[in-house]
Amino acid sequence: MEKIIDIIESIAHEKDLDIEDVKRTVCLALTKTAKKIYGEDYDYESIINTDTKTLKLFQKILVVKDDDERLEDEKDKYTGVSEAKEVDPDIEIGDELTYELPLDNLGRTAAATLHRELEFHIQRLLENQLFDKYKNMVGNSIFGTVTRVDNEEATYVEFDEVRAVMPRRNRIKGEIFKVGDVVKAVIRKVFIDKVHGIYVEISRTSPKFLEALLALEVPEIKDEMIIINSSARIPGERAKIALTSLHPNIDAVGATVGTKGMRINAVSGELNHENIDCIEFSSIPEIFISRALSPAIISNVKIVNGKAIVTLPADQKSKAIGKSGINIRLTSMLVGMDIELVELEGSSGQASETLKDPNALSNLFG
């Protein structure tokens, strides 16, 4: 194991890994190898000497009383205190002695085992590094090339060092991808699978994808002069997004929509022509809800026990609900609150429409 530091530096450079991480991995691989060669029941310690650039392996032996029964059957794991003091006069019961195990005569079996262990743990180190990298990218947009579409219509997209998976449920209705297509999506979640390694799931149906596309298209959002307070989508159909301007001379809605709608239309086109409503956010819930229910004209909003009671003229109710209930559902998801519609007294009768569990639909798509 001469010049082990040179080997470690070579591995770290080739794999783009931290040298200290590779050092710990090499020591771990050697310790695992020792357990397989000498026995799982024994304790070992691997140490790298940076001065001599060598790797050393030690077996640790526990110091016990001279009459300890374990000395009879497990001499390799325990040593009596009297014998231990011959090596170190200051040693006490409960301390550990370490004996160096020579590495030069381990044999081919041990060398092959060490090689396999090192490969395995370096691979785990690479996976953990990638996991940390992409875990911090959850919610960010990516684009890559489709490499495969399986029988369950899951789309595999290759980007950077990984192959991401977009399950069918994360694809906008009506979209069909084929090998070679370039796809934009957002990283939805990342985890490590015991069989297949790092798993990156991407989505085109998440509200975060809409937000990521807006950040790419609208410089004011990217530069954080406009912030996105919340968003809600029914993928491929309609979306609502709440915006706040942090600059007195910037109109949040106008800047996001763009001249003649160019910016918002570009985002809509990427989302299979999803209609996107841009709403100016208000910290006053009643005003925010009133704006979010557009195009309906609202007479009054009252918050009661966490639910919004919205009063409106009878001829505005259908607009507030929207086709198949899409407008009220999106508003409920956007504001995070149940909404009940109540017609104004004196209009043609009085009725109410309540939407419960505003998070149910967002959880489904998001």
Reported as a single tens digit per residue, the pLDDT across 269-328 is 999 999 999 999 999 999 999 999 999 999 999 999 989 999 999 999 999 999 999 999
How many Cα atoms sit within 13 Å of 61 on the Cβ side? 22
| Between 233 and 195, the higher pLDDT residue | 233
Q: Are 157 and 148 in contact (CB under 8 A)?
A: no
Q: State yes or no: pLDDT of 258 exceeds 60.
A: yes
* pLDDT computed for residue 317 by the predictor: 94
CATH of the domain at 349: 3.30.300.20
Residue 136 belongs to a domain: no
Rounded Cα gap, residues 25 and 249, in angstroms: 55
Decide if 251 is inside a domain.
Answer: yes
- Regarding whether 152 and 54 lie in a shared domain, the answer is no
Contact 11, 17 (CB under 8 A): yes
365's tokens: 């798509």
Does pLDDT of 50 surpass 80? no
Q: What's the pLDDT tens digit per position in 68-84?
A: 777 776 666 777 878 77
Whichever domain contains 63, its CATH number is 3.30.1480.10
Q: What does the pLDDT read at residue 58?
A: 82
pLDDT at 76: 65
Number of domains in the chain: 4
Q: What span, in angstroms and rounded, lies between the C-alpha atoms of 41 and 345? A: 82
Same domain assignment for residues 119 and 22:
yes
Domain that holds residue 274: 205-281
d(CA 246, CA 240): 20
Please check whether residues 22 and 116 belong to one and the same domain. yes
d(CA 347, CA 5): 85
pLDDT of residue 337: 94
pLDDT at 3: 66
Are 173 and 235 a contacting pair, CB within 8 Å? yes
Gyration radius of the chain over CA positions:
32
Pick from 24, 47, 44: nearest CA to 34: 44
In a domain, 135, yes or no: no
Q: How far apart are the first and last CA of the chain?
A: 52
DSSP helix/strand/coil, 89: coil
pLDDT score of 242: 97
- As a whole number, mean pLDDT of residues 29-55 equals 79
pLDDT value at position 186? 95
* Dist CA 30 CA 103 (whole Å): 10
* Mean pLDDT, the chain, whole residue set: 85
How many whole angstroms separate alpha carbon 328 and alpha carbon 320?
6
Residue predicted with more confidence, 10 or 244? 244
Whether 325 is covered by a domain: the verdict is yes
| Residue 113 pLDDT exceeds 60 | yes
Residue range 334-344: mean pLDDT, rounded: 93
Neighbours of 233 (CB within 10 A): 28
pLDDT of residue 101: 77
What confidence score (pLDDT) does residue 190 get?
92
Question: Distance (Å, rounded) from C-alpha 235 to C-alpha 254?
Answer: 23
Give 74's contacts (C-beta < 8 A, 6+ positions apart).
Answer: 41
pLDDT at 157: 96
Q: What is the pTM of this model?
A: 0.71
Q: Are residues 198 and 253 in the same domain?
A: no
In a domain, 134, yes or no: no
| Residue that wins the pLDDT comparison between 220 and 193 | 220
Residues 269 and 324 grouped into a single domain: no
* Cα–Cα distance, 179 to 157 (Å, whole number): 9
23-32, 63-72, 264-273, 342-351: segment of lowest average pLDDT? 342-351
- Residue 259 and residue 246 in contact, taking contact as beta carbons nearer than 8 Å: no
Identify the helix (H) or strand (E) that includes residue 219.
helix 219-222
